[in-house]
Structure formats: C-alpha cells, structure tokens
Amino acid sequence: MSDDPETARQIAELASDDRPLLVLDVDEVVLEFVQPFMRYLESIDLELGLATFSLFQNVVRRSDRQKVEPSEVAEHLDTFFAVQAEWQTAAADAAETIARLSRNAEIVMLTAMPHRHRPVRRAHLDALGFPYPLLTTEMPKGPAILKLRGPDKRPVAFVDDIPKNLLSVRDFVADAHLVNLMSYGAMRAVMPPLPADIAVADDWKTAAPSIEKALGI
Ligand SMILES: [Mg+2]
C-alpha cells in the first residue's frame, strides 16, 4: 500500500469522530481551480487549452503559440499554489452546502499538493468559510481515506474532480459513495469516461442529495 507518512501524521492529529465521513477534494470541489489557474497563466503570457484532460500538456505561450514543457507548467503550478489566495474563490454554493452537511457528518478536506503549501491553503480556506480539517497528500488518496475511516465501518462519501483519485479510493474503500464534481464544466468534455457507479454532479446543489442519502444524514 502506498502511504504518505506526512498524511498519516496529519490524520493522527485529528480528533476522533465516529459520525459518517465526508471527504472532499479542494481544487474544483471546494475552490474554483481551472478558471483561476487560466487567469493566472494569462497574467504571465501563457494559455491553458482544453484539447485533452491534462494541465501539463496543454499550455502554450500566447505570443508565439509554442508549447510550454510540462516541467515548466509544473513550476508555474507550484508558484500558483503559493499565491492561491490572490486567485482562487469558493465554488458556487460550496460553503453553505458543506456547512449544512457538517451538522451530521465529519468533514475532512484532502488535497493533493506538496505538503509545504498546506499553511497557505489552510489560511485561505478559513478566510472563505471552510474551517474543516485540511490534509495534504503527495500520494494516492485511497490509503488516506481508509485510515480516516477508522476501525468502524462508518459510511464514507468522497468528492473529487479527477477520475484517478476516485478510482484510488474505490480500490481501498470499496463501499465508499463516490461523486465526481467539477466546477469548471468545460473540462468534462475531455475527461475520460467514468465507471457507472460514480455519481456525476456539476455543482453542489446537485451533489448534496446523493451524499446525504449515502451517509444516512
Ligand atoms: Mg481537484
């Protein structure tokens, strides 16, 4: 099992909670990501296209339309995460809907980004009305959610925009209710097809009923 030791350390710090568990990705689920990242790239003369479901393969320089190497895109993404508070806003209806769900479920945010960006993201999420625990991981999400669930078979729901993350969770927590939520709907056109048992939602208003049903809340 691939297991991120720093994520495991963060999980060990959480207060124990035996309520149904709702785990949320951050980018494209709690916070807008694709559109703010596009605007950030434009500010440095770059452009993200949507030819395929990849951030790293679809960036060109606006001045000469030359492709930007994936390694350079990764550097820009890292800088973007450092200044995310200047660019990223809350996803529509996320704050109100998650606050309602939090009355009867444990909410944990699990974001795949370098651990060093955790304090910046923590502060920004607090400022936007998301006071729930935030975990970072640099490895697959499935093992983290298995650990978060704890020894009892409490109901689990997981929301993410990236199919790979949803499938990782299914591998480790087979009965988790999985929801594909993507704030920036245009990305869906180039996304690989999802297995039929993964719920699809374009916004929080659509996502909430199946989560409440799965968690029994
Ligand atoms: Mg995401």
Q: What is the pLDDT of residue 215?
A: 98
Centre of ligand 1 to C-alpha 158, Å, is: 12
29 CA → ligand 1 middle, Å: 6
pLDDT at 155: 98
- The pTM (predicted TM-score) of the whole model is 0.96
Q: Which residue segments constitute the domains of the chain, with CATH numbers given?
A: 5-32+88-215 (3.40.50.1000), 34-86 (no CATH)
Listed in order, strand segments (DSSP E) in the chain are: 21-24, 46-48, 59-61, 106-112, 134-137, 156-160, 177-181, 199-201
Phi, psi for 111 (deg, rounded to 5): -115, 135
What residues pack around ion ligand 1 (CB closer than 5 A)?
25, 27-28, 161
Separation of CA 25 and ligand 1 centre (Å): 5
**pLDDT computed for residue 43 by the predictor:** 98
Question: Cα of 159 to ligand 1 centre, how many Å?
Answer: 9
Provide the 3-class DSSP secondary structure of residue 140: coil
CA of 68 to the centre of ligand 1 (A): 22
Quick one: 54 exposed, middle or buried, by C-beta within 10 A (0-12, 13-18, 19+)?
A: middle
- Is the Cα dihedral 101, 102, 106, 111 positive or negative? positive
Residue 9 backbone phi and psi in degrees, to 5: -65, -45
Distance 216 CA to ligand 1 centre (A): 25
Phi and psi at residue 53, to the nearest 5° = -85, 70
23 CA distance to ligand 1 middle (Å): 12
Under 8 Å CB-to-CB from 64, ≥6 apart: which residues? none
Q: Which pLDDT belongs to residue 212?
A: 98
Q: Give residue 2's pLDDT.
A: 59
Q: Please report the pLDDT score of residue 217 as a whole number.
A: 97
Regions in the chain scoring below 50 on pLDDT: none
The pLDDT value recorded for residue 74 is: 96
CA of 190 to the centre of ligand 1 (A): 15
